[in-house]
Amino acid sequence: MQTILTSGPVSNRLNIVVLSEGYTSSQLAQFAVDATNAVNALLSHPPYQEYRNYFNAFAIKVASAQPGSDHPSSGIYRDTYFNSTYDPVADYLITIPADSTGQGKVDALLQSRMPNCQLPILLVNDPNQGGSDGFDRTAIASTAVLFSEMPPLPPGILTHETGHVLANLGDEYTIPYPGFPDTEEPNTTQQTNRSLLKWKAWVSTNTPIPTPETVGEGVVGLFEGAHYHETGWYRPELNCAMGNLGAEFCSVCSEALVLAIYQRVRPVDAFSPASTSFSVSSTQALTFSLSLLQPTSHNLDVQWFTNGVAWTGATHLGLTLSPEALFNGTNWISARVNDLTSLVRNDPANLLSQIVTWTVDVTLPQLRLDSPLRLTGGKFAFRVSGNAAQGFVIQSSTNLLDWAPLETNYLVAGQFWHTNFAAGPSSRMFYRAATLP
């Protein structure tokens, strides 16, 4: 296994693994180059481009006895590791056996080398354009992708197949496919009621439903023809990578892909303090910080909260505050991270948001004077309570400006009784207690 792209820990990245099919052992060096080009081509297309930092990519090199792939329509058969074959009728559809001679080998390699793989790509060393979604689990594409969808060219078969694997997107093709299951995908529907349309957040009120093709490209509506039907099934835009090779993903497919990325990768990579529950008993400032995954051309939105209240201006990656700004007792410090990308309008599961909360138990020195008692002979007593680990001093004043120390001591079981020994010089005295540092 070889690393192609590292942007962070495999535990919090969408890990792509490219596997070699139809490369002989002497061609494996070329496979490493091809795999790198395939990943770069894929991640150059929106919305992947914007979330490139959310991906790692690796290549697993396995040799085949012979180069290429089967082309039954031309009577060509090759001995290859994953037993791939082009379709006997549609010589652009590449599949591998579902059993242990095909997909089972993909699964076994991933299990042993990269169990955290979320996007396997089988790169078939064949110059004929072709691919498939490998049972919605493995994006299969021939090396023709290296000529057909490298930037600045638009997406091709590889990018299209990843839409199936990552976001369960449906084909927006209109060519008939008798027997194809009538299951709706995020980007295909039979629904024609505007208010029930699953992508209604993208449809402006003045767009007709269904939408005539004359409206043109870049408008989200309800275009007839999708899911292998010319009529009765609808797609969101006139053109999309899920329907026309050479088009970018439409807004609805793009949204589904961003949600799919956030299903697998969380925006907060790490945070400090690493422990989300701790105690403080001194006034030393507390520092909290986040390490975030950032999209390519916009920053994630951050807001800090203390006990549920947003701090104005606390929108950076770190927050420093004094424990004196908190209450004695249990406090909650939270950071809410949001991706406010315009690529997503509908996020019912709140995938684009993450909240980190620290529970902070504060026991700051705090004193209280109470229970005043008059005693005989001009004496009196009062109680000092609270917490003062380093001790306290009792002071008196006649004018609240000048304070004189009377007694230094420690609390016992949280309290201390002070008794004066002589009446003060004035008929009116103020008393206070202060913790010692």
Q: Which of 117, 124, 240, 302 binds Zn ion (CB under 5 A)?
A: 240
* Shortest separation between residue 121's beta carbon and Zn ion, angstroms: 20
**What's the CA angle centered on 236, arms 230 and 239, to 5 degrees?**
75
* Residue with Cβ nearer Zn ion (253 or 352): 253
* Shortest separation between residue 221's beta carbon and Zn ion, angstroms: 12
* Residue with Cβ nearer Zn ion (242 or 388): 242
Residues whose CB falls within 8 Å of the CB of residue 254, separated by 6 or more in sequence, listed in order: 46, 47, 248, 343
Residue 43 interacting with Zn ion (CB under 5 A): no
* Residue with Cβ nearer Zn ion (238 or 286): 238
Q: Are 201 and 271 in contact (CB under 8 A)?
A: no
* Residue with Cβ nearer Zn ion (71 or 164): 164
Segment interacting with Zn ion, rule: CB under 5 A, options 65-73, 118-126, 144-152, 241-249: 241-249
Residue 251 interacting with Zn ion (CB under 5 A): no
| Order of strands, sheet of 415-419, starting from the edge strand that comes earlier in the sequence | 366-374, 380-387, 415-419
Segment interacting with Zn ion, rule: CB under 5 A, options 246-254, 292-300, 316-324, 417-425: 246-254
* Shortest separation between residue 241's beta carbon and Zn ion, angstroms: 7
* Shortest separation between residue 172's beta carbon and Zn ion, angstroms: 6
Q: Are 335 and 292 in contact (CB under 8 A)?
A: no
Backbone angles phi, psi at 120, to 5 degrees: -80, 135
* Shortest separation between residue 249's beta carbon and Zn ion, angstroms: 6
Encoded one letter per residue, x for contact with Zn ion by CB under 5 A and - for no contact, window 83-122 reads ----------------------------------------
* Residue with Cβ nearer Zn ion (250 or 300): 250
Give the separation between CA 235 and CA 250, rounded to whole angstroms: 10
Encoded one letter per residue, x for contact with Zn ion by CB under 5 A and - for no contact, window 124-143 reads --------------------
Q: Are 51 and 92 in contact (CB under 8 A)?
A: no
Residues whose CB falls within 8 Å of the CB of residue 348, separated by 6 or more in sequence, listed in order: none
Encoded one letter per residue, x for contact with Zn ion by CB under 5 A and - for no contact, window 273-302 reads ------------------------------
Say which DSSP state 211 is in. Answer: -
Among positions 178-237, residues that touch Zn ion (CB under 5 A) are 187
CA-to-CA separations, 307 to 290, 323, 325, 330, 331, in angstroms, rounded: 18, 13, 11, 9, 6
Q: Which of 106, 253, 261, 302 binds Zn ion (CB under 5 A)?
A: 253
* Residue with Cβ nearer Zn ion (114 or 247): 247
* Residue with Cβ nearer Zn ion (114 or 242): 242
* Residue with Cβ nearer Zn ion (86 or 199): 199
Give me the residue whose beta carbon is nearest to Zn ion: 240
Q: What b/e readout covers 187-225, taking b as 16+ CB neighbours within 10 angstroms? A: bbbeeeeeeebbbbebbeeebebebeeeeeeebbbbbbb
Residue 250 interacting with Zn ion (CB under 5 A): yes
* Shortest separation between residue 265's beta carbon and Zn ion, angstroms: 22
Residue 242 interacting with Zn ion (CB under 5 A): yes
Packing angle, helices 28-42 and 157-167, rounded to 10: 70
Q: Which residue type, as a one-letter code, is found at position 213?
A: E
3-state secondary structure of 382: strand
Give the separation between CA 261 and CA 12, rounded to whole angstroms: 11
Q: What is the 3-state secondary structure (H, E, C) of 335-362?
A: EEEECCCCCCCCCCCCCCEEEEEEEEEE
* Residue with Cβ nearer Zn ion (39 or 253): 253
Interface residues with Zn ion (CB under 5 A) are 187, 240, 242, 250, 253
